Structure formats: structure tokens, C-alpha cells
Structure 1
Amino acid sequence: MAGPKRAAAFAEESAEVEVLYANLSKMKSLTKKIQSSMSRLETSGKTVEEAIGPIYGNTQRLQTTNANIDRVIMAIDRIREPLDMRNREEQVLRSNPQTIGLNEYIASIDRTRQALGDLKQSNLRSNQQAISELNGLLGVGSRQLEDVFQNTLRDGVAPVEPLHFITKNIDFPRISSNKTTHLRTINAHASSTPSEAAQSDPRGTSTAKIYAEVRGQYITSSLQNMAAACLATARKQNPSTATVYKRGDNAIGMYAAGIKGMFIAEYDNICPVFDREEWGQVLSMTCQGALKAFAVTLRDLDRHIKDNITSDCFLAYEIIEVVSNTAMEIESKTGEMKVEVADALKPIRETAKSSLSALLTDVRNRVQQMTQLPADGAAIPLTSEMMTRLQTMTGFLIPLSSILTSLGKGGWSAPGPASSSTSIPTLKSFDVGADGRKLFADYASDTIHTLLSNLEARSQALQRGKGVQGVFLANNVAIIERMIRSSELGPLLEPAQPKIEAWRVKATKHYMTTWNEVSAYLLDVQYTNRGPRPPSTGTAVDSAAFVKALSSKEKDTMKEKFRSFNASFDEMVAKHKTYKMEKEVKTSLARDVQRFIEPLYSRHWDRYHEIDKGRGKYVKYDKTQLNAVLTNLG
């Protein structure tokens, strides 16, 4: 059984191997065929590649050429576009903006400006002609808008009368908000940016110059009557009289108020129309004409003040105060114009500084030119006039403080004070502090000393006798003291009081020297080698004993002394009554005479009145009678 089974299995495996060999033979034959096919395919591919390659290369070059053609067409279109746009916008921009409509006109300018910017960025040489034409077209549009800007500014505007607004305390008129909005829109599109305008023209944009011209004429025309009023009120109705100027007599206050009101109003007009960085420049340009007219007016007033320096120097002080305050107030509202306004003050400020020395010179000259003085010792009008000046000055302490500070202590004594480097006021320069008050006190003290020292010298030359000289000096000192006490000079000149008192003492001393002759007759001659005088009885002096102790010659001498005293005393009393004295001088000198003479006479009378035994032959006055006479001197 086993044998047949193995034979059958072997036969089956042999059959499978034969099948495998048969398949392998087929695979080898197929592989050969495939290899042959691959060889033929490779040869065919090379042939195809060689045939198709040139065609593919030509196709790529054709695509590149097509792309270049498209770009050329697009460039041509871009070149044609500005020309087409120019033709469209030119019709608008060469028309009247009011006819086209301002918004449409401005939109056309914006489109043209945008197109111009695009062309400049393209850097195409072919665009240069278009750029030039569009620039010209924008220039036309800007000029058209500038005309509208100018017409809008001028529409319905006429010069105003500043006095109306000042006296009623109402604001000066402003441009309406609708119009300023309109002007700002035009300004923004009519001109280049401020930075570009500054590079091309440092004076500002065209619209700024138009604004300055139109509004500047309006301001200048409105203020011209105020300038004329200043000159008219400065003229003296009677040139032969040197009437002292009083605050407010001139229209300079109104003129300055008009300038302040109009400049501040104009600044409020400028701000909504122009950019922030342009405000100051446009305001300065706009107000330039009015400031020139103001400076001319101040120069005319300065000439008038110089011609009438002693009476109208106070006008110079008022102008300095008013204009300086105006400059600071304008600056506080606008941040501008302080320097420009203050610069107009330079001539008058220098005149005001020189006026202080001129007033001192005037006092000296007027005293030295006197050919006679009052014979009765009366005060001269110059003293009251000079003190009135000082009193008037106290009303101008603010500007005087600034002037005196710039001169420095004693600087007013120089004939020609040096010009200050600047006339720009500051808050500190208008602060009347301790320094300003002290400098004024020093100046007033120098003025008083100049007057009194020159009066004393002139009195010694023209008036005979110490008596009249003393009365004359005392009278003038009394008027000075009285006018100090009755005015603002009192507290200011308190430090100078000792100097004034010294002059009063000197005047009294001059006068009292004339009474020395009278007193000489009341003095005894004591002989130390003689025995003692007879004692007095009780507390009273025993005149009889004194007289008895005299020798016959001494008695005759004493009688002569009484007669000489009587004559001299009566003469001095009579002369005293001929003098014209101020009330306080009369009282003071009478008191001084009484204090000097009465004690001497009382002592002399107590000792020697018995020389004529009560007959009154030699002793004319008893103590009571002499007291009455001396008391009546006051």
C-alpha cells in the first residue's frame, strides 16, 4: 500500500515542477520582450523630445512677449489717464468757484493734487509735461480760491468807531463762525502746507498775506481817528502858558484801549482760520500797519513832550504806563505782540528818563535867572510849582519806578542818561516796591535840595540882611513841608524829613542872628576882682540894691543899655512885622525870638529896672509889657 502512495505523490510533485519550469521559460521570454519594448520606447522618447523641445521654448517666449505687451498697453493707459483727467478737471478749475459750487471746486483741486502726487512718484520721463500742466492747473485753482477768500473777507466789512465799543464796554466785533469755517476750508485747499509755504516764502502763505492785507486795512482805518485825537488833545490851547499835564487829558488811553480790543478780537478771528503754528505770524502781519501808525503817533507826541518837557513830561509817564500795560494785556490773551507794542515806546521812554534831569536843571536855571527876590521875604511861586510837580509825580509811581530803576540811584543827575538795552516791560518793572519808592524819595529829596540850595545862594546875592534871608528861606521850607504833609508825598518822603528839618533850622539860624544885637544890650559884665553883689531880699531880686552897688559910670552905661535895647528892640519888632511870613513860620520865629529875648530881658529887668525909679525914662517895658509885645509877634 505504501509503495503506490509514494509513487503517486512523487508523480504529483514532478508535475508541479514541470509547470514551474514552463512558467519560468515564459517569464524569460516576456522579460526579453519588455526589454526590447523599453529600448524602442527610449529611442522614441528621445525623438519626441527633440521634436517638441523647440515648440515649448517658443511658447514660453511668446507668453513673455504677451505679458510685456500687456504692460506697455497699461503704461500707455496710465500716460493717457492724466491727460484725460487734466481735460476733465481743467473745465472745472478754470470756471468760477461760485458758479461750479465751492465743494465741487475743492473736490476737483483735491483730485488734481492727488493725480499730481501719483505722477511725481512714477518717475516716468514722459510724465514731466503732464506734471507741469497739472501744476499750472493747480495754480489757477489756488488763485481762484484766493479770490474767493479775499472777497469773503471783504464782504460786509467796514471800519468801526472804537470809541463806541470802549465807552460802552462791549467787545469789538468778530468774524461770524460760519464765515470763519468757510475761510478755513478755502485756506486749507488754496495754499500749500505751512511748512512748504515757509520754505517757499518766509512771510507766510498767500492766504495769510491776503488776510493780513484785508484785515490790516480794516484795523488801521478803524484806529486812525484815535491817532488824530491823541495829537489834537496834546496841543495846548494857549501855548504861552505852561499848564501842567494832568492824567487823562490826552486820548492815548483810548487809543491804547482800541489797539488792545482790536488786536485781541483779530486774534480770535485768526485762530479758527489758520493752523496753530501760523497764528502768531498772521497776527503780527495783520497788525503791522496799525502798529506803524501807532509808532508814528508816539513819535509825534514825543516831539511835543520834548518841546514842553517841564509841563508835559507827565504825558510821557502816562504813555509809558498805558502802553506797557496794553502790551502785557495783549500778550496775556494772545501770547504775542508784547515786543512789537513795547518797541513803539522807545523814544518816549528815553524822553521820560531824560526829563528827570531836565526838571532839576529847570529848577537851577530858573532860580539863577532871577534878578530880584521879594523884599519882604515872601516865598516865590517856583517853590509851589516845583512841589506841585512832585505831587503830580506820585500819581505816576508805576512808570517812574521803572524809569528810576533803569537809571539807578543818582542816575537822574546825569545830563544825558544812557539808553536802556530794552524797552520791553515786565511785571517786576511795574511793581512799585520798596526800591521804587525809595528811589523816588531820593529823587524828590534831591529836587528839594536843589531848589533850597540855589534859593539860599540867590538870596545871599540879592537880599540884604540875614533877617530877610532867613525869613525867605523859612517861608519856602514851610511851603515845602506843608505840601508834603497834604499829599501822597508825606509817607514817601518820611525818610527825607531830617534833611528838610535841617533846612528849617538853618533858616531860623539866619533870622535869629539879627536878634543878637538886641540881646547884646541885656548881657552883664561881671568883674571877678570886685566884691560880691548885694544879696537879694527874699526870693525876689533886689533891683535897688543892684543899682545902688553900681558906680556912677556904670549907671550911665546901664541907662544907655536900656535906651539902646529899646531902640533896637522896637526896630526889630517893626522889621519883623514888615516881613511876609507863612503862618507856621510866623508862629515858629515868634516863639524862637521870645524864648531867646524874654529870659535875658527878665533877668536884666529884675536887676536893673530901678535905674530910672519907675519913671519909664530908660526902662520902656516891664516884663509883662515885653511879653505882650513878643507874644503879638506870632
Structure 2
Amino acid sequence: MLPVGRAAWSLDYAASKMAVGTSQAADEEARAEVEVLKSRLEKTTQLTKKIQASLGRLESSGKTLQDTIDPIYGQTQKLQIVGSNIDAILEALDRMKAPSDIKSNEEDIIRKGPEKAGLNAFLNSVKRVNKALVEMKRSNLRSNQQAAADLQRLQKSGNQQLEANFQKILQEDSRPIEPLHFITKDKPFPLIAPDKMGRLGPINQYISGVTKQSGMAGESPVLQTYATVRGPYLTATLQNLAAASVNTAKKKTPDAVYRQGTNGIGTYAKGMELAFLAEYDNICSLFSREEWGKVFNLTCQGAISELARTLRELNTHIKANLPTDCYLAYEIIEIMSNISTSLDSRTGELKPSFAAALKPIRETGKSSLADLLEDTRRRIAALPMIPQDGAPVPITSDTITRLQTMVDFLRPISSIMISLGDGGWKSTSQSVVSSDQIPTLNSFEIGADGKQIFAHYCIDTIDTLLSSLDQKAKPLLKGKPTLGVFLANNATVIERMIRNSDLQPLLSGTMADVDKWRKTGIQLYITGWREPSGALLDVTYTNRGSQRPPSGSATSIDSVAIVKGLNSKEKDAIKEKFRLFNSSFDELVAKHKSLSMEREVKEMLSRQVQGMIEPLYGRFWDRYHEIDKGKGKYVKYDKAGISAVFLSLG
């Protein structure tokens, strides 16, 4: 066995030799790999050189090929251009030949007409002719001029037949109808049947298109054709209603006052509104939006002309019977203004046409306000006499009745009042100002109140009435008392009629203007009682023993002592005063009872007379009733007796 130390050294040496051997092996492997890479790099270099040589040869070959192909490509392009030109020439030849082909193909269909050939087939044929004609005009070839002329004649024939067919279809649904059937049942007027509308639409669309395409001024002839057919339909449908409006205006009794709603104008207007709205629906379904207004105005013009003629005839009747039929003018103004506003809100059309038709009636309505005032003056001036008993005259109640009736037409009258302005009826030139437009709020005075202006007109009418009666009565009635009773009676009738009617809320703030006439009448009447009241005035001598007791004294008056203190001359004067009073008083009482007085007037006048005479007589009687020692020779009435007389006056 080896020693332990040598054994250890041997192991280290062996390990060292193994490590050296491993390192050498790794180096050998690396050198081998390098050699392989060098070998591959050499091959790659050789391949690159070969590729470069090949690219050089390819470039040389491509240049040679390009030089060879360029002439061939140029020749090919030239051949393509020649081919295109040949195709264009062939197409032009086909186009030159096409018109004669189209003419021969479509002429037979167009000659048959839309009814025999069928509307769709006929319409398509005409469209093809129109298209060919447009293309031919665009080519502008001289060789096509004759063919173009032939196609134009063919197109014109086709268009004319389509227009005639349009008119014929339209006429089938344009027979006049009985409007009352629809008005009374509140039904809309009938429209053009859908199947006919389905045929009319394509015709209208085509002809409108051709018209625009041609560039000619004016609208499509179909518009005028529609108005030519449907216009007379509307006029004929409404004709009976127009005639009824005139007939119902005729008066059976000359002085009969017109009553609201008794004229046929309301039904006429309702029928017109329904007919026009139905027609507008037809037009909207058939024509383009920009054509609606034009066609609608053309179609309705005949019916509106008939309306204008009817209103002129009614206006002549109203002017001939103004005091009784002015209300018909107000009713027409309101009805026509309403229908104009309604149609304008639905269609945006016809308002100026209605305003022009209504113009004569509206002017009559304006002038009527001044004319009625003048009629009041004229009628009063023409009165043959005034009642000698002071009774009110019929014209007073007639005038207030007229104002009461006007309240039923307050809306149209208010519009007239606002357009005239407050007091405008006083000037004839202002009252007949004409206007071609139905007034709008913009034409009125800002803040104007038609009802208030009408109230002023009522007061003006009352003043005109009473002042005219005053002027008429002064030379015809004997004495101021009778004139006073006459004025008070008429003023009282006016006040009572206002209070018991729809005038009351309108005139409540102006009744003082009426009451002043009654007060004037009372003052005139009282002047007649000054004579007996004057006889009751006496002279009191304060230097005598028998003095008049102080006012308000509770001391009883001793008539015996007072009379005893008078000398004979003074007694005779007192007797004369009693005699004069009795005579004048009895005469006035008799006169009072002979006069015709309204109940309110009689009560008021009796109170006024009693308040004026009784205190004076009572004082005079207290002092001097012993002048005839109770025999009644001079003192006819005691205090109770004269009170009874005053009671009998009321």
C-alpha cells in the first residue's frame, strides 16, 4: 500500500491531466467550425458573382426586348383609336337611323289614343318620343332635321291627347251637386275619386315636366284645364245658395226689421267654405306644392265672382232699406270675415278676393252709422205733429230698438267702429273710407275698444234723437210744461228700454247723459208752477205786534190774531193771493192731469210740485186761513185737502 500522502498527490496529477485534455478537445472543435464557415463563405462569394453575372446578362436582354416591343405597342394604340372611331361612327349611324325607327314604332300607339291603347302604354310611348326628340336636338345633326320635325308633330299630338284625356277624366267627377245635403248633415264635400286621381296624376306630372323641360314661360296647361273644368263645377254647385241669399232678402212687409239668421247668406257661406276646402284637398293631392295657390285661386275665381255679384245685389237692397236692413250688412260682414279667416288659416289663399267681394257691403256698413243718424233727424223733421198731451213719440222706441238690435251684431259693428275711430261716424268723408282689405288688428287704433266706441255712438244717437225732438216740439207745443213733459217722457222711455236690455252693461257708465234730458224736461215743467208759488209769498211787518214766529219755533201760529192785526187793505191783498193761487193751482192741476205721462215721470213731477208748493201753502195757510172765517170763499184748500190733491197727481 502507498502511503496516504503519495496517494493524494497521484489523484491531483490525474485530475490535472484530464482537464488539459478536455481543453484541447474544445479548441479542436472550434477550429473545425471555423474551417466550415470559411468554406461556406467562399461558396457564397462565388454564388454572388454568378448572380451578378446573370443580372448583367438579364439587363442586356431586357433592353433588347424593350427596343423590340416599343414599336409594336405604338401600333397597338393606334389600332385601338381607330377601333373607337369606327364604333362612334357606327353609333352615330344608329342614332341617325333611330328616329325613323322610333317614329314607326310609336306612331301607331299615339294614333290609337290613350283610351284604345291604354293610358300607361300611351304615356310610355309619348315619353319615349320626348326622350328621342331631346337626344336628337342635343346631337344637332342636319340629317335629323326632318325626323325631328316629325317627332315634334308626334309629340304635340300625344300631348294634346293627354290634355284632352285629362279634361275628360276630370269632367266625369265634376257634375254639380246639391250642397244642402252635405251642409245639413255636416258632411265634407265629395273629393275626386281615387281611381280617377290615379290617372290624372301621371298625366299632370308628365305635362308639367315637358313644360319645364321646354323652358317656355308660363305654367303647365293642365293648371288652366283643371280650373276650366272645376271652376264651373264650384260655381254651379253654389249657384242655388247664392240665389237663395238674394230671395230671402226680399221683404214681405216693407217696414219689417231684419232678424238675425233669416237670410240665406249663412248657408251660402258654409257651403262655399266646404266646397273650397274639398277643392283645396283635390289640388294638394294632384299638383306640386308651388302650384297649389295658383290653381286654387284660378279654380275658385268664378265662384267668388258670383259671390261678389250676389253681395252687390244684397247691398243694393240694404241701401234701399237701410233703417230696417242695415243689420243684414253687419251680419254679412261678420260671416264673410269669418269664412275668409277660416280659409286663410287652412289654405293661405283667397283673403284679398273675399275682401274685394265684401268691399261694397263693408262701405255700406260704415256709412250706415252716419246715415242712421241722419235718418233719425229726417224722420223727426217729417213728423206732421207732436202729441199735444206730451206723450212720447214712436220714433223714440224705434230708435232704441234699433240700438238694441245692433247689440246682436256687436262683433262686426265693433270692427267697423274701431276702423272708423271714436266719432268717425260724424264725418261723411270718414264714414265711407274704402278699403280693399278686410281690417286686421294692425289697421286699428292701438288700444281702441269697439264696445266703448259703440257706447259713444249710442249716446250720440240718443242726443241726436232728443235734440231733434226738442227742436221739432218747441214751436208746436203750447207752453214749457208740456214741452218739459214731452222731453221727460221720451227720456224716460229711453232709460227704461236701456235698463231692460243688453244695452244696460254697455251704457251703464253714460246714463247721466240720458238723465240730463229728463232733468231738463222736469225743469221746464216746474217753471209753470212758479205762478201759484209766487202768490203764496207775503210781506211780514216786523214793527207790528203780531210778528211772524221764528223759523222752527214750536209756538203755534194764531191765524185769528194775525188776520185781526191786518188792516183792510192788507186783508184784501191776502184774499187776492188766495184767489190767485186757487185759480192758478186748479188750472195747473187740470193741465197736469190732462197730460200723458210715463209712470216714472208722473211720480217724479208730482213729488217735485208737492215739494215746491206744499211747504209754501202750509205756511201761508197757517197764517191766513182765518181770512174768510172757514167759509171757504177764499181759502179753498186746507192742508189735508191740498195734500190729497198732490197725491192725486202721482
Which category of TM-score, normalised to the shorter sequence, fits these structures? 0.7 to 0.9
Per the alignment, residue 351 of structure 1 pairs with: 364
Q: Distance in 2 between matches of 1:571 and 1:132?
A: 114
Per the alignment, residue 457 of structure 1 pairs with: 471
Per the alignment, residue 232 of structure 2 pairs with: 217
Q: Say if 1:179 and 1:432 are closer, same or farther in 2 by CA, change over 3 A.
A: farther
8 A contact 2:474–2:483 mirrored in 1: yes
Q: Say if 1:494 and 1:534 are closer, same or farther in 2 by CA, change over 3 A.
A: closer
State the AA in 2 paired with 1:317: Y
* Greater displacement, 132-141 / 383-392: 132-141
Q: Secondary structure at the match of 1:576?
A: helix
Q: Distance in 1 between matches of 2:152 and 2:545?
A: 132
Q: How far is the alpha carbon of 1:629 from its aligned partner?
A: 1.0
Q: Distance in 1 between matches of 2:195 and 2:556?
A: 108
State the AA in 2 paired with 1:396: F
Per the alignment, residue 6 of structure 2 pairs with: none
Q: How far is the alpha carbon of 1:123 from its aligned partner?
A: 3.6
Q: Say if 1:251 and 1:430 are closer, same or farther in 2 by CA, change over 3 A.
A: farther
**Do residues 581 (structure 1) and 594 (structure 2) align?**
no
Q: How far is the alpha carbon of 1:612 from its aligned partner?
A: 2.0
8 A contact 2:418–2:448 mirrored in 1: no
**Do residues 521 (structure 1) and 535 (structure 2) align?**
yes
Q: Say if 1:201 and 1:71 are closer, same or farther in 2 by CA, change over 3 A.
A: closer
Q: Distance in 1 between matches of 2:483 and 2:646?
A: 21
Q: Distance in 1 between matches of 2:441 and 2:544?
A: 82
Per the alignment, residue 44 of structure 1 pairs with: none
Per the alignment, residue 557 of structure 2 pairs with: 541
State the AA in 1 paired with 2:236: S
Per the alignment, residue 396 of structure 1 pairs with: 409
Per the alignment, residue 182 of structure 1 pairs with: 199
Q: Distance in 2 between matches of 1:496 and 1:319?
A: 30
**Do residues 335 (structure 1) and 355 (structure 2) align?**
no
The equivalences for 1:362-441 within 5 A come to 362-416=375-429, 417-426=431-440, 435-441=449-455
Q: Secondary structure at the match of 1:493?
A: helix
8 A contact 1:143–1:190 mirrored in 2: no
**Do residues 77 (structure 1) and 91 (structure 2) align?**
no
Q: Distance in 1 between matches of 2:73 and 2:398?
A: 121
Q: How far is the alpha carbon of 1:114 from its aligned partner?
A: 2.5
The equivalences for 1:116-155 within 5 A come to 116-155=133-172
Q: Distance in 2 between matches of 1:186 and 1:62?
A: 50
Q: Distance in 1 between matches of 2:162 and 2:440?
A: 43
Per the alignment, residue 250 of structure 1 pairs with: 263
Q: Say if 1:224 and 1:247 are closer, same or farther in 2 by CA, change over 3 A.
A: same
8 A contact 1:376–1:580 mirrored in 2: yes
Q: Say if 1:432 and 1:558 are closer, same or farther in 2 by CA, change over 3 A.
A: farther
Q: How far is the alpha carbon of 1:305 from its aligned partner?
A: 1.3
- Matching residue within 574, 577, 587 for 1:571: 587
Residues 250-275 of structure 1, C-alpha deviations (whole Å, 9 max, x = no match): 11111111111100111111111111
Per the alignment, residue 280 of structure 1 pairs with: 293
Q: Secondary structure at the match of 1:617?
A: coil
State the AA in 1 paired with 2:118: G
Structure 2 stretches of 5 or more lacking a match?
Answer: 1-67
Q: Distance in 1 between matches of 2:473 and 2:127?
A: 90
Q: Say if 1:563 and 1:607 are closer, same or farther in 2 by CA, change over 3 A.
A: same
Per the alignment, residue 466 of structure 1 pairs with: 480
Q: Distance in 1 between matches of 2:309 and 2:351?
A: 18
Per the alignment, residue 617 of structure 1 pairs with: 633
Q: How far is the alpha carbon of 1:63 from its aligned partner?
A: 7.9
Task: Give runs of ≥4 in structure 1 deviating > 6 Å.
Answer: 54-66, 427-434
8 A contact 2:546–2:561 mirrored in 1: no
Residues 275-316 of structure 1, C-alpha deviations (whole Å, 9 max, x = no match): 111111111111111111110111111111111122211111
Q: Say if 1:369 and 1:475 are closer, same or farther in 2 by CA, change over 3 A.
A: same
Q: Secondary structure at the match of 2:529?
A: helix
Structure 1 stretches of 5 or more lacking a match?
Answer: 1-48
Per the alignment, residue 507 of structure 1 pairs with: 521
Q: Distance in 1 between matches of 2:578 and 2:348?
A: 87
Q: Distance in 2 between matches of 1:625 and 1:115?
A: 122
Residues 366-414 of structure 1, C-alpha deviations (whole Å, 9 max, x = no match): 2222332111111111111111111111111111111122221221112
State the AA in 1 paired with 2:109: V
Per the alignment, residue 7 of structure 1 pairs with: none
TM-score (normalised: structure 2): 0.84
Q: How far is the alpha carbon of 1:231 from its aligned partner?
A: 1.4
Q: Say if 1:427 and 1:162 are closer, same or farther in 2 by CA, change over 3 A.
A: farther
State the AA in 1 paired with 2:209: S
8 A contact 2:333–2:412 mirrored in 1: yes
State the AA in 1 paired with 2:631: R
Per the alignment, residue 26 of structure 1 pairs with: none
Q: How far is the alpha carbon of 1:504 from its aligned partner?
A: 0.9
Q: Distance in 2 between matches of 1:249 and 1:385?
A: 20
Q: Distance in 1 between matches of 2:448 and 2:425?
A: 19
Q: Secondary structure at the match of 2:176?
A: coil
Q: Report the RMSD for the aligned CA atoms in angstroms.
A: 2.8
**Do residues 230 (structure 1) and 245 (structure 2) align?**
yes
- Matching residue within 159, 167, 177 for 1:160: 177
Q: Distance in 2 between matches of 1:601 and 1:229?
A: 72
Residues 132-182 of structure 1, C-alpha deviations (whole Å, 9 max, x = no match): 333332222222222221121122542112122212222211222332232
8 A contact 1:82–1:130 mirrored in 2: yes
Q: Distance in 1 between matches of 2:465 and 2:134?
A: 81
Q: Distance in 1 between matches of 2:531 and 2:153?
A: 109
State the AA in 2 paired with 1:391: Q
State the AA in 1 paired with 2:637: Y
* Greater displacement, 604-613 / 225-234: 604-613
8 A contact 2:245–2:265 mirrored in 1: yes
Residues 593-615 of structure 1, C-alpha deviations (whole Å, 9 max, x = no match): 11111111112112221222222
Q: How far is the alpha carbon of 1:213 from its aligned partner?
A: 1.3
8 A contact 2:418–2:445 mirrored in 1: no
State the AA in 2 paired with 1:559: K
Q: How far is the alpha carbon of 1:433 from its aligned partner?
A: 8.6
8 A contact 2:536–2:616 mirrored in 1: yes
Q: Distance in 2 between matches of 1:60 and 1:453?
A: 115
Identity across matched positions, percent: 52
Per the alignment, residue 268 of structure 1 pairs with: 281
- Matching residue within 105, 125, 137 for 1:108: 125
Q: Distance in 2 between matches of 1:555 and 1:606?
A: 15
Q: Distance in 1 between matches of 2:443 and 2:611?
A: 52
8 A contact 1:401–1:430 mirrored in 2: no
Q: Distance in 2 between matches of 1:59 and 1:610?
A: 163
**Do residues 207 (structure 1) and 222 (structure 2) align?**
yes
Q: Secondary structure at the match of 2:493?
A: helix
State the AA in 2 paired with 1:235: K
Per the alignment, residue 578 of structure 2 pairs with: 562
**Do residues 596 (structure 1) and 647 (structure 2) align?**
no
8 A contact 1:406–1:420 mirrored in 2: no
Per the alignment, residue 315 of structure 1 pairs with: 328
State the AA in 1 paired with 2:220: T
State the AA in 2 paired with 1:111: R
Per the alignment, residue 29 of structure 1 pairs with: none
8 A contact 2:392–2:486 mirrored in 1: yes
Q: Say if 1:58 and 1:585 are closer, same or farther in 2 by CA, change over 3 A.
A: closer
The equivalences for 1:54-69 within 5 A come to 68-69=85-86
8 A contact 1:397–1:432 mirrored in 2: no
Q: Distance in 2 between matches of 1:430 and 1:165?
A: 38
Per the alignment, residue 8 of structure 1 pairs with: none
Q: How far is the alpha carbon of 1:327 from its aligned partner?
A: 0.7
Aligned residue-pair number: 579
Residues 236-257 of structure 1, C-alpha deviations (whole Å, 9 max, x = no match): 224xx32221112211111111
